[in-house]
Amino acid sequence: MGRSIIHVDMDAFFASVEQRDDPSLKGRPVIVGHPLGGRGVVSAASYEARPYGVRSGMPLTEALKLCPHASVVPPDHARYSRVSRQLRAIYLEYTPLVEPLSLDEAFLDVTGSRALFGPPESIGRAIKDRILSETALRASIGIAPNKFLAKVASDLRKPDGFVTVMEEGIGSFLAVLAVERLWGVGPATAAGLRAVGLRTVGEVAAAGEKFLSSRFGRIGKELHLLSLGIDPRPVVPFREARSIGAETTFPVDLRGEDELHTALLGLAERVARRLRRTRLLARTVVLKVRFPDFQTVSRSRTLAEPTAGDPQLYRAAGELLEEALKGGRGKGVRLLGVTGKNLVPGSGVVQSTLFEEPLGERHPRENGLSGAIDRIVDRFGEDSITWARLIRLRQVRSRRSVRRSGGDPPGRGAG
């Protein structure tokens, strides 16, 4: 027997978590995203919203035109991360070879698990059932001899799908699928394939590597291998992060120094928490600033010591902000972003130096505090504890977060 790969894909993950946690949203179209005064985008859409044409990544204003009665809920990434850790704990009970692709998606290599847990179909069913019983969420499962086929299989019968591709059935499984199912085939490549008469994966396979390479270059060989169901890539249980960042687009351009630095502290806090959660330290801080005319500038600084501390990241980003604003003062700021790069392994808890000066509003020293704060946030949510300077920012964000149709005042669960 060959490899057995499972692809788990949670169904409308963000929206499903919101519907689970707020019964008034069940069965209703739900859009996850920040309104941001017309600049927000859709982070996720429930299956009730999708028939109206609502899709992730589209402007929120466009989504609400398509589905004006939808409930708009702000994303709660800390809550989604907690659920994602629950899911990963389930996966790890069946195999150590788990490769997360995102919070709601993962590959599992269960080849070595068959002796303990039975055939891959039994493992897949067990995982699917446990996800439902332990999180009250539904997942789509694809099982196949490799990652590409498992991913395609999980997509075919969403939501709540379960598709198995056997080694002997790979050719017939792929033959009738549209060329867009091949990895790397976007609108431009799909149009190119159709222009030469290739509409299905089976037709791509029949065209042969020589023809495809002559028409599409290097990608031609890759398309031919995938069309035959060949994908030797292993499931990689740990993928080293190259950078960890966060950015936000403001509903109204920010001009005041206090507003900008408050927003910057919020971003530094988010990045620092993610660094600590993944036990990494950043050697370099990168600041991104976008002005109202869409001019975007980037500044970076290498730190004397790598860090995962809120104050250290904030201090460096604040100095970079002052540099970035020299040529654009008075223009306002449309977007801010903070990224930690050149990551190195760390303990996950950052100690402050004995003589470190407090930042801005006399922030308390970390000195072990970061770990305690992270545990509180993990248990009670990201708004349970924060810097005093950020309280008003989060209150304002919360008031703006949910929009009801027909001009009603904001209220979660609307629609």
CA quadruple 93, 94, 97, 99: dihedral, nearest 10: -80
- Cα(227)–Cα(200) distance, integer angstroms: 9
Please state whether 46 falls in left (phi above 0), alpha (psi between -120 and 50) or beta. Answer: beta
DSSP-assigned states of every residue in 285-350:
EEEEEE-TT--EEEEEEEEEEEE--HHHHHHHHHHHHHHHHTTTTTS-EEEEEEEEEEEEE--S--
- Cα(168)–Cα(71) distance, integer angstroms: 46
Parallel, antiparallel or unpaired: strands 162-164 and 139-144: parallel
Examine the residue annotation and report whether 105 is marked as an active-site residue of this protein. yes
- Cα(375)–Cα(379) distance, integer angstroms: 6
CA quadruple 374, 377, 378, 380: dihedral sign: positive
- Cα(34)–Cα(11) distance, integer angstroms: 21
**Interior/surface letters 27-56, b for 16+ CB within 10 angstroms, e for the rest:** ebbbbbbbbbeebbbbbbbbbbbbebebeb
- Cα(312)–Cα(340) distance, integer angstroms: 11
Phi then psi for 276, rounded to 5 degrees?
Answer: -65, -40
CB atoms within 10 A of CB 151: 20
State the catalytic residue, choosing from 105, 222, 366, 382: 105
CA quadruple 350, 355, 360, 364: dihedral sign: positive
Residue 140 and residue 158 in contact, taking contact as beta carbons nearer than 8 Å: yes
Instruction: Give the N- to C-terminal CA distance of the chain in Å, as an integer.
Output: 51
Phi then psi for 185, rounded to 5 degrees?
Answer: -95, 100
Instruction: Output the CA–CA distances (angstroms, integers) from residue 171 to 202, 205, 228, 407, in the order listed.
Output: 8, 9, 7, 54
Please state whether 305 falls in left (phi above 0), alpha (psi between -120 and 50) or beta. Answer: beta
Residues forming the active site? 105
